[in-house]
Chains A and B, each alone.
Chain A
């Protein structure tokens, strides 16, 4: 069996995943790409979408990431994102409710800053809804 690549998923708060895997499929800004061990070193931006971690003999783990960066160096692959949620945890009804809340918040926002922040939040939620089962 081929060697594995050390995959890390980090958020600003903590290290979310750190394990050796067969392949990671990353939603890059210019298209999805799979990373295997020995990949050409690269740095890419990541768009909001689904990251897939594949390991022989196990179900692939699908994780929603809210954009970020990926750094690949031969035997390592690090993905930095601000938010990561397993796709299985995304619930359609829950998300729709949160989107409605956010839309309301935009209406009620008192300052431009607040509106700007809620707008960012809303964008993420909509992306989540798209991939939610």
Chain B
């Protein structure tokens, strides 16, 4: 049986762990608020871009000579999988859920005889995928030390993807990230970047123009050719923001759990400690009393 001193050390060490997890939870909570604000702030731009793309793209789809970014290369041979994860662990299932989904899909693609290339954003995803698909990872973009993700952080990723597409290195590009729904729920999302998935143009999303139709200046094709690459950057940017918020949310609830578990553990250990102490005192008393009785 553990001695009382051992128990005391254990209780103390659990207590200091609890302090750390509680601090991490609070840090995550404040970061989460900022990350959520950033997601909110980025929404107007993305919404407008989506609306424009919706009205432009749907009319372009039926025509010949539509941009490749919109219609794709017509092949499905090589897939580029962009896995956006966090840079740090201790955030519950955040990183592993993304990595698991990506891994499952990559396996399925490989089994279908497709070629797969992986672009990792964030090193946690790379760490997991490297074991199984080390040779398929073409690049890892790390976002270490970036406090607040800005558009300038997303752009290099988008430019890299576009450059590769222009060089014909892949046909389909899918982005994996977690969409932030609430602190306890982050939704794993696969978003197809190339060919661009057009937003649904339903009633209510399109502005009411009456009978009027848009004038385009310059031609629709040219606008679309400019719009699509930017849209890609925006999609990447949004994914990164959602990811950042999800990571903090996930970490917050993970650390909340950890703090609670540590509390339970401390309670249990303290109870055990007190019982052992009581038992020791009792047995010492018995020894003294029986010793005294033997002398009489």
Residues of A within 8 A of B (CB): 8, 10-15, 28-30, 40-45, 68-69, 71, 73-74, 76, 78, 80, 82, 112-113, 116-117
Q: A43-B52, A43-B56, A80-B45 are in contact. Are A73 and B159 (CB under 8 A)?
A: no
Pairwise interchain contact B151-A44, C-beta atoms closer than 8 A: no
Pairwise interchain contact A69-B226, C-beta atoms closer than 8 A: yes
Residues of B within 8 A of A (CB): 38, 41-42, 44-46, 48-49, 51-52, 55-56, 150-151, 154-156, 159-160, 163, 207, 209, 212-218, 222-223, 226-227, 230, 233-234, 237
Pairwise interchain contact A117-B159, C-beta atoms closer than 8 A: yes
Which residues of B have CB within 8 Å of A13? 38, 41-42, 45, 150-151
Pairwise interchain contact A116-B159, C-beta atoms closer than 8 A: yes
Partner of B217, one of A8, A29, A117: A29
State in angstroms the CA–CA spacing of A84 and B237 once bound together. Answer: 18
Which residues of B have CB within 8 Å of A74? 209, 212
Which residues of A have CB within 8 Å of B233? 12
The smallest beta-carbon distance between B37 and chain A, in angstroms, is 9
State in angstroms the CA–CA spacing of A71 and B223 once bound together. Answer: 12
State in angstroms the CA–CA spacing of A82 and B237 once bound together. Answer: 12
State in angstroms the CA–CA spacing of A71 and B217 once bound together. Answer: 10
State in angstroms the CA–CA spacing of A13 and B156 once bound together. Answer: 16
The secondary-structure label for the interface of chain A is strand
Pairwise interchain contact B234-A12, C-beta atoms closer than 8 A: yes
Pairwise interchain contact B44-A15, C-beta atoms closer than 8 A: yes
Beta-carbon nearest neighbor of B215 in chain A: A42
Partner of B151, one of A12, A28, A78, A112: A12
The smallest beta-carbon distance between A66 and chain B, in angstroms, is 11
The smallest beta-carbon distance between B80 and chain A, in angstroms, is 15
Which residues of A have CB within 8 Å of B51? 71
The smallest beta-carbon distance between B257 and chain A, in angstroms, is 33
Beta-carbon nearest neighbor of B238 in chain A: A12
The secondary-structure label for the interface of chain B is helix
Pairwise interchain contact B45-A10, C-beta atoms closer than 8 A: yes
Pairwise interchain contact A80-B163, C-beta atoms closer than 8 A: no
Which residues of B have CB within 8 Å of A29? 217-218
The smallest beta-carbon distance between A107 and chain B, in angstroms, is 19
Beta-carbon nearest neighbor of B151 in chain A: A12
Which residues of A have CB within 8 Å of B163? 112-113, 116
Which residues of B have CB within 8 Å of A76? 207
Partner of B41, one of A8, A14, A41, A117: A14
Pairwise interchain contact B45-A12, C-beta atoms closer than 8 A: yes
Partner of A10, one of B44, B55, B212, B223: B44
Pairwise interchain contact A44-B216, C-beta atoms closer than 8 A: yes
The smallest beta-carbon distance between B235 and chain A, in angstroms, is 11
Instruction: Supply 9 A–B pairs (Cβ within 8 Å), ascending by A.
Output: A12-B234, A12-B237, A41-B212, A69-B227, A69-B230, A74-B212, A80-B49, A113-B156, A113-B159
Partner of B48, one of A44, A78, A112: A78
The smallest beta-carbon distance between B288 and chain A, in angstroms, is 76
The smallest beta-carbon distance between A32 and chain B, in angstroms, is 12
Partner of A41, one of B159, B209, B222: B209
State in angstroms the CA–CA spacing of A74 and B215 once bound together. Answer: 12
Pairwise interchain contact B151-A11, C-beta atoms closer than 8 A: yes
Q: A12-B45, A113-B160, A116-B163 are in contact. Are A42 and B217 (CB under 8 A)?
A: yes
Pairwise interchain contact A41-B213, C-beta atoms closer than 8 A: yes
Partner of A73, one of B41, B49, B209: B209
